[in-house]
A and B are shown apart, each in its own frame.
Chain A
């Protein structure tokens, strides 16, 4: 199993540009998450999904959108990139049964200039 994969690994965007961060998991997990990690700030939850077709906002959803058309994929969309969105983005997944572990992808380092 590949686990949780994210693409791209690095990206530089200009202010106002759009992009989609891809996340795929091959563990048949129902729950998927998007976090951002800023220096010294831990991880902040952006959006999460408890299954295909169901998404909900986390702590810091402004400026982002998500969709979950399949169990495997959970893309994160930035419509109008701003410097405040410069961060490292992590996707994670977990089973819906009583197993608390979240499995994280390797992250996408995004810079908006």
Chain B
């Protein structure tokens, strides 16, 4: 089983602050996804990154995939209370893109 480390586990910030969440592995990902989960619901995909060095933006969220494809980050600019939730990274390795390993998640709370 591949290991995927996600940090921090908890993050509580004020509205308007910036934050970064990290996802790391000792192995090379073939692809990596970020999901967001709200209480009582299933995770919902935010982005998929495939190419080393790739940067994707989704409104105030910026996703980076490391050049070596072993790490990724999620940066939120000017966080809002609506960003509150559990952020999960999920990686695929080798040829099995259909099977994901999830990190433990980062529980983000944005206080008004």
Contacts and interface: CB of A to CB of B under 8 A. Distances in A.
Interface of A: 4, 31, 35, 40-45, 48, 50, 58-59, 90, 92, 94, 96, 98, 100-102, 104-107
Majority DSSP secondary structure for residues of B touching A = loop
Contacts of A4: 42
**A41, A42, A50 pick with most chain B CB within 10 angstroms:** A42
A105 B37 CA distance: 12
Contacts of A43: 43, 88, 90, 102
Contacts of B48: 100-101
B77 to A, nearest CB: 24
Given A40-B9, A101-B33, A45 B43 contact: no
A23 to B, nearest CB: 11
A95 B102 CA distance: 19
Given A43-B102, A104-B44, A106-B42, 17 more contacts: A4-B42, A31-B98, A40-B105, A42-B88, A42-B102, A42-B103, A42-B104, A42-B105, A43-B43, A45-B100, A48-B99, A58-B99, A59-B1, A98-B97, A101-B45, A101-B48, A107-B42
Contacts of A105: 42
Contacts, number: 54
Contacts of B100: 45, 102
A100 B92 contact: yes
Contact of A41 (B45, B90, B101, B104): B104
B44 to A, nearest CB: 7
Range of interface residues on chain B?
Answer: 20 to 34
B31 interface: yes
Contacts of B1: 59
Q: Which 4 A-B pairs have CB atoms at the shortest separation, nearest pair first?
A: A104-B42, A42-B102, A43-B102, A42-B104
Contacts of A44: 102
Interface string B82-112: 0000001010100001111111110000000
